[in-house]
Amino acid sequence: MKFNELGRSMVEMLGVLAIIGVLSVGAIAGYSKAMMKYKLNKHAESINILLNNSLNISHQLDASGNIVDADGAIYYSTILQKLGLIPDGISLTTNSTRPFRDIFNNMIWIFYYPNKNYYGMGISFQSSSQGKKICYNVVSMTKENSSNLWLLETKFKNDYYGLLYGDNYCNNQNLKCLNNLTINEVNDLCNVCDENTCNFYILWK
């Protein structure tokens, strides 16, 4: 007697599993890319809000209740927290002088030097696969706020890379202006962050 065979052969099943595997890998890659895009957008939004909150309130603050280091720098973390000015995506840590962490766990701090009369936001991030993209966020945010800033000071390891001045201070042709930064100049600046620890100081008076 002969019977009709039902079902799929082993080769067909392996083919189906292979297709499912390829689709799964593509879905995971797409999800990872979407999550990274979300985190970068959240990062850009949160540091921009923190900077603008600091710009708006800094001239009304004093040293009361805040950390003061040996160089006389005042760190505004306690007061910003009490005023509810720390946005989502920024967390407060127990570090006395570098108290904030962004969504990528990079250090951020808000400070004031009374003897030099300027305020600032410091951002430090390690070389990583996101380093260049984080750099783009920071430079883009700084450029957007150039009308309210004195300068952007960039430092890699122990070497200063350069100074980029805000609108009201860039009145000399020898000075590099934030609002005139080209895409190539941003690329040159951020390429260094793929290889080194980057420290950015966004300063205002």
**What pTM does this model have?**
0.81
> How far apart, in whole angstroms, are the C-alpha atoms of residue 39 and residue 89?
9
Q: Is 129 exposed, middle or buried (0-12, 13-18, 19+ CB in 10 A)?
A: exposed
Closest CA to 166 of 154, 156, 155, 180: 180
Nearest one of 102, 151, 158, 98 to 130, comparing CA atoms? 102
In contact, 122 and 178? CB cutoff 8 Å: no
Fold of 10-204: TcpA-like pilin (3.30.1690)
Q: Contact at 8 Å (CB) between 122 and 200?
A: yes
The full set of domain ranges for the chain reads 10-204
Q: How many whole angstroms separate alpha carbon 110 and alpha carbon 98? A: 8
Kindly report the number of other CB atoms within 10 A of residue 188's CB atom: 12
What pLDDT is recorded for position 63? 64
* Cα separation, 166 vs 148, whole angstroms: 7
- Dig out the tokens for 17 from the structure: 């599993």
pLDDT band for position 24 (cuts 50, 70, 90): low
The pLDDT-based confidence of 91 (bands split at 50, 70, 90) is: very high
SS3 content of the chain, % helix, strand, coil (to 5): 45, 20, 35
DSSP secondary-structure letter at 177? B
pLDDT at 73: 87
Helix/strand/coil for 160: strand
Q: Which of 114, 106, 105 is nearest to 75 (CA)?
A: 114
Range 53-64 average pLDDT: 83
pLDDT above 50 (res 3):
no
Average pLDDT over every residue of 122-139: 82
